[in-house]
Chain A
Amino acid sequence: MSLPQGVRAGLLVGAVALALVPLSGDRFWVQFAGKLMITCIYAVSLDLLVGYAGLVSLGHSAFFGLSAYLLAGLANGLGLVSPLATLPLCLAFAGLAALLIGWLSLRATGVYFVMVTLAFGQMLYYLFSESPGLGGSDGVSILQRPRLAVLGRTILDLGDRTAAYAAIWVALVLSFLLLRRVVQAPFGHVLTAIRINEGRMRTLGYGTGRYKLAAFVLGGVLAGLAGYLDATLYGFVNPAQFGWRQSGLVLVTVLLGGKGTLYGPALGAALLSVLEHFAERATEHWSAVVGAAVIAVVLFLPRGVAGLLEGSRG
């Protein structure tokens, strides 16, 4: 489905505005917008599962956390800092984990699938928070951020805030364009039809399990990309990144923005980040304010903020 004209223009303006944030020179806003873009990648990766394949996963944080922890392990344990090595390794690790977890989880359907994915996320949370060798509940600081050097000369240092910010911006744009391409291809149409009527798709000749697993793995790899970038930006990983709260928050982001649109969840991530920021400043009960806003959107905008922008368009 093509994007509404206004949405397309809004996305372009948003992308340009985000690209210009580092020019403000304000460290806080650069960090804030960097985190916001990471959340966007995280949310659009989950939208592929929830909005297109109809797979409501509460274990999506597993791939975010595994990728982030692997980056920490590669940097601290092996002194491997080149993003040309660490990025493919982290994404492949997230993808392999998604293949295994997806292969097992997709044997269940409906609420049972939700519970199995939740269980995998929680298993990893307890494994990492209770294993001193993995940093325990305190987490792990990344001693060396990803850095690309050629002939002893550093050409890209992601420890530099602006460079990390630029990398996150590029990753967001590429992730979004990749997913747009995927959902507009036959693969995306098949996923949508599986969500609507899986039984009928099987009698039409589709091995639906393979399609769902492929979506699960692709979503997992992109969640892994978000985790890699998060660990790079903050230089720190902790077991809370595996927790159900993290998975729940990103799911809320998808629903708030409007599932099955890709741009909706990105918008949801931006709105939720801004709302949280200002609510935190206004009151110590900020989470109640955010909760009330989420309830209002779910009740009055069942198709999320994207539904509001698209009007009656189905």
Chain B
Amino acid sequence: MAEALLETEGLTRRFGALAAVDGVTLRVERGTVHAIIGPNGAGKSTLLNLLSGELRASSGRVRFRGEDVTRAPPDVLSRKGIGRSYQTANVFPELTCAESVWLAAHSRNAGRLFQPRRDGADTAAREEDALRACGLSGRRLSRAAELSYGEQRQLEVAMMLATDPELLLVDEPLAGLGHDEARMVLALLREVAQQRTLVLIEHDMDAVFAVAQTVTVLVNGRVLESGPPAAIRASPRVREAYLGEEEP
């Protein structure tokens, strides 16, 4: 069995009486794409918020590289190597693409408060690589607010890549994108997945089954099934859960 990069054990998050994530146990293997699917309201984004430290777990454990990080805040998790992108573009509207990606790259030096503007070739190279990989080299000096929605999603991914994460938590990267933009982002995710580990939430089942090695199905905050795409596609329980939704 491959080495686990991220593991959860009985992870639970309650909002009052509602358990949005209820006893989720996951094992994400290093170097794989692990997709999390489920109907709307299944708790997928809440689970990602727990993994990125933006929400505190009510109970359960999260381990990253074997270390317990259940109570770690988002900045600590980011510096440990967990990157995050969002369901809707979460950028800095007043900053240019270059400034936004530079901030992300510079965060690896954020242990020191005061530093010169150009802090080493590594930061500049990460900034440049991330912009190029996401097709934004020509938009370096455009403000995020001036970008199309699709470009803002590309900028999201570029910022995430510039932090050089080992594990990427990617929330619906294709949502709201046109056909061409979606193809480009999908190709980018495939490329990224060759060197890193991805936890992917996506409603586009074709995309999920094309890139994922493992698929976990969440329903009502609980794991319904988890396994290789072919097994998930064939599972009667999954088909039943998706009645009224798109068939996987």
User: Which residues of A are at the interface with B, using a C-beta cutoff of 8 A?
Assistant: 184-187, 189-190, 192-193, 196-197, 199-208, 210-211, 214, 314
Contact = CB atoms under 8 A, between A and B. Distances in A.
Interface in B115-139: 115-117, 119
Given A202-B75, A204-B159, A214-B113, 14 more contacts: A185-B114, A185-B117, A187-B113, A190-B103, A193-B95, A204-B75, A204-B107, A205-B78, A205-B108, A205-B163, A207-B76, A207-B110, A211-B113, A314-B94
A206 B117 contact: no
Contacts of A193: 92, 95, 100, 103
Nearest to B123: A186
A196 B78 contact: no
A196 to B, nearest CB: 5
Contacts of A199: 54, 74, 90
Given A203-B84, A206-B107, A184 B91 contact: no
B93 A196 contact: yes
Instruction: Tell me the dominant secondary structure on chain A's binding face.
Output: helix
Interface in B70-117: 73-76, 78-79, 83-84, 90-95, 99-100, 102-104, 106-108, 110, 113-117
Q: Which of A185, A202, A205, A208 has most B Cβ within 10 Å?
A: A205
Contacts of A196: 92-95
Contacts of B94: 192, 196, 314
A200 B113 contact: no
Given A203-B78, A203-B84, A204-B159, A189 B103 contact: yes
B52 interface: yes
B116 A203 contact: no
Q: Which of B73, B74, B99, B108 has most A Cβ within 10 Å?
A: B74
B100 to A, nearest CB: 8
A181 B75 CA distance: 26
A210 to B, nearest CB: 7
B116 A185 contact: yes
A289 to B, nearest CB: 35
24 contacts: A185-B114, A185-B115, A185-B116, A186-B115, A186-B119, A187-B115, A189-B99, A189-B103, A193-B92, A197-B90, A197-B91, A197-B92, A200-B92, A202-B74, A202-B75, A203-B75, A203-B84, A204-B103, A204-B107, A205-B75, A205-B108, A205-B163, A207-B75, A210-B113
B117 A184 contact: yes
A195 to B, nearest CB: 9
B223 to A, nearest CB: 25
Contacts of A185: 114-117
Nearest to B118: A186
Contacts of B74: 199, 202-203
B140 to A, nearest CB: 16
A204 B102 CA distance: 11
A204 B54 CA distance: 12
B26 to A, nearest CB: 20
A213 to B, nearest CB: 10
A120 B104 CA distance: 35
A192 B107 CA distance: 14
Contacts of A214: 113
A262 B83 CA distance: 35
B92 A204 contact: no
A186 B75 contact: no
Contacts of A203: 52, 54, 74-75, 78, 83-84
Contact of B114 (A187, A200, A208): A187
A32 B115 CA distance: 39
Contacts of A207: 75-76, 110
A186 B83 CA distance: 21
A187 B113 CA distance: 6
Report the 3 A-B pairs with minimum CB-CB distance, sorted nearest first: A205-B78, A205-B107, A202-B74
A205 B110 contact: yes
A200 B91 contact: yes
Contacts of B91: 197, 200
